[in-house]
Amino acid sequence: MAGSTPPSEPSLERIHGTVERVTFHHPDTGFCVLQVRLPHQRDLMPVVGHASQVVPGEYLSAQGRWVIDRQYGRQFQAVAIELTPPHTVAGMQKYLGSGWIRGIGPVYAKRLVEAFGTQVFEVIEEHPERLRDVPGIGPRRALSIRRGWQDQKIIRDIMLFLHSHGVSTAQAVRIFKTYGDDAIRLVREDPYRLARDIRGIGFKTADRIAKQLGVDDQAPIRVRAGVSYALLEATGAGHVALPLADLVGDTADLLAVPPDAVKAAIDHETAEGRIVLFTIKGEPCIALAALAHQEQVIAERLKMLARGKPPWPALDVDQAIRRAEAQLPFALAPLQKVAIQQALTSKVMAITGGPGVGKTTLLKTAIGILRAHGVTPALAAPTGRAAKRLAEATGEPAKTIHRLLGGRPGGTFQYDARHPLNADLVVVDECSMIDVPLMYHLLHAIGPTAALWLVGDGDQIPSVGPGQVFRDILNSAAIPVVRLTNVFRQAAQSGIVFNAHRINQGVMPNLEGTPPGEGRSDFYFVSAETAAEAADKILRLVAERIPRRFGWDPLRDVQVLCPMNRGDCGAYHLNQRLQDALNPPGDEAVERFGWRFGPGDKVMQTVNDYDKEVFNGDVGWVTDVNADDHILIVRFDDRPVEYDFADLDALIPAYATTIHKAQGSEYPAVVIPVVTQHYPMLKRNLLYTAVTRAKNLVVLVGQARAVAIAVHTVDSERRWSKLKEWLVEGSTAPLSDL
């Protein structure tokens, strides 16, 4: 797509050539690294610059300077890039084979140009019936190619409009999918709707478009959108609400408008019912109305459920525990017996404790007792891995919460207050991961007579989404809580369990590699003075040392968990290096959104997708890439899921991941970079959570002082949430909504 060219400067040169390969292209910023064939030059030359869309085969004209990069050598740094469709047969073949037109991949691109030469574009657009003259192209593929070309033509028209306003190619495709042929009209009417409706477009992009469309800086529509954006950003940091003064100040600074304009916008949005004003510990706060309502309903439904009696008949609890204990190879601890007694006599309860304290034994025993008395349980956890662990531990089937509730396209659920789950008892594990919206939907689906047990580790990091639901429940005393604290002797001999509890108590873990009990050590520290050195050592540990010593698969059994995405030891950089080492992209790989995906790649879903029934944090494996049909197949557990190439921004490589993304998962071996470069995230609960993700082996890599910083730093960042107050003091949620 052609772009504007700045006036020539004496120091700038202009080059012309054909784009042979797109090494990297960031859809949001347009930054790209291209391999370009220049006339009369044998080797491809790297060109670095910005382009909204770039496809191999296009003709490039760029203005810039030749530089010598210390790492990559000679390259052309472009200040302006112009791209036009190819006019040669070779260029057209590369263009068509790049994967942008559904139904055409490298094979059919070659056949098409062999059949039609330089007239191939004209044939596709004006004489599509001739496509069937090409061997292998039947009615179905011809129709697919024609529709793909037409879609691209419409998209190109939309792109001409959107690119001129700074929107990327990937975003333009998604806008077209959402709004169809009305895209330009709808964007002109309210550009801020993009931030609400389109994944990957935030307020800043929408605001830039609005300004280019002539929206005034102090226009009410802009200020109101800014208020909503500030509140939405707060939910990303875990907040349900923001103090009124902070919201006014932050929004005024963001938009560069007077505070009075923000206050007027808040008054308007409050009157419209989109936001609400209430107090948290006496502080006036503002929240998105839907989110505040969900917290109210959580409090009311928990208290309503707790007021009833268990759905099973009265039991001789002591006798039931004695009989169950007789079936075990060991005696139950006194606190476990108290917990089981509490579970058998409570309709709603919470169970919390760290690793090795017997939560699994407690659950298995209590569920077994109730099973013998005809109780039907339903077990769930937030992630697939956590659900699988729960099933293995209890011997009962377990599902993800989304699948238990029957998640449907559009974010609705099969089971709700009108159609409750068919279960006498609902048991949910890893509850520290559950945010306000998910707990709201879960409690809606539990029938008024059913019992509910919430299980988790309250000392782990809270949910990625808004709220701190499990922690607030534990601290409210609104329902019975059992806190398991005694580490059993067998578990205490594990260096992982031993050191996890030390970290949780604010005590340095044993970094000498000596286990607290007998046997091989399962907790190690590898020293590295710098983050770059730590990254090198992590690569060798995962690719060579751990597989050689323990016989584990480096892809399936070893997981790198990072405090942050950024830096030499961040998940982003380590993913690139580990992918190159463990599963280097081949010819089948497709490049989208800054990543290359090929067969064998380990990937993670980053957003909830109810259509595909895959959810944030789910890990799968790429099994096939179909360049002709623009389809990539990922296998999650035993279920293949199709991704259109345009939707691959929902996936990231998962050779390394952040600790937050690993919540609820368990891996045979975990490697954790702990370096001062990640200082902002070095917190006790983060390190504790990472260590407790490992089943058989933990390796910390980095600096002892960074470990000390993490151990001694308590996460003091407050999450603005009113759930605890509503649990303690009561709420005003209308009963009709319960």
Q: What pLDDT does 454 receive?
A: 95
Q: Judge whether 169 and 155 are in contact, CB under 8 Å.
A: no
Q: Judge whether 378 and 400 are in contact, CB under 8 Å.
A: no
3-state helix, strand, coil in the chain (%, to 5): 45, 20, 35
What backbone torsions phi and psi does residue 310 show, to the nearest 5 degrees?
-55, 150
Q: What pLDDT does 160 receive?
A: 64
Tens of pLDDT, residue by residue over 67-85, are: 887 777 889 988 878 887 7
Where the chain has pLDDT below 50, the residues are 1-10, 732-738
Sign of CA dihedral 197, 203, 205, 207: positive
How far apart are the C-alpha atoms of 471 and 179, rounded to whole Å?
41
User: 377-381 and 425-428: which strand pairing?
Assistant: parallel
Q: What pLDDT does 732 receive?
A: 47
Question: Which run of H or E residues covers position 45?
Answer: strand 45-50
Q: 3-class DSSP state for residue 351? A: strand
Beta bridge partner(s), residue 652 = 604
Tens of pLDDT, residue by residue over 389-431, are: 899 888 899 999 998 998 887 778 899 989 999 999 999 999 9
Q: What pLDDT does 169 receive?
A: 57
Q: Judge whether 250 and 242 are in contact, CB under 8 Å.
A: yes
How far apart are the C-alpha atoms of 169 and 159, rounded to whole Å?
7
Q: Judge whether 589 and 625 are in contact, CB under 8 Å.
A: yes
CA-nearest of 147, 161, 156 to 55 is: 156
How far apart are the C-alpha atoms of 299 and 302, rounded to whole Å?
5
